[in-house]
Amino acid sequence: MDLLNDQLLRSKQVAEILSIQSTALEQDRASATPRYPFIRLGPKTVRYSLRTLERVIAASTVGEVSA
């Protein structure tokens, strides 16, 4: 993964993209196997890779997506 060329998103941004509450992301991070992989930059600072998030969404998509 080339993080230097990847956009890193804050929890609030990811929550908006996924149409979920930020608290749902907090709960996900606390689980043993988080659904949304994250990067911990400090004790209270986390970021999400846009590329990884796109892959998680694609893997969760059911059925065909037409162009």
Helix, strand or coil, per DSSP, at residue 31 = coil
How much is the pLDDT for 3?
A: 60
- DSSP code for 19: T
**The two three-digit tokens of residue 62, written as one number:** 């059911």
**The two three-digit tokens of residue 18, written as one number:** 């996924």
How much is the pLDDT for 6?
A: 85
- Cα 51 from chain centroid (whole Å): 9
Round to whole Å and give the CA distance between 7 and 33.
Answer: 23
- Give strand pairing partners of 46: 40
pLDDT one-digit tens code per residue, 8-60: 999 999 999 999 999 999 999 999 999 999 999 999 999 999 999 999 999 99
Indicate whether 5 pLDDT > 80: no
How much is the pLDDT for 63?
A: 87
pTM, full prediction: 0.83
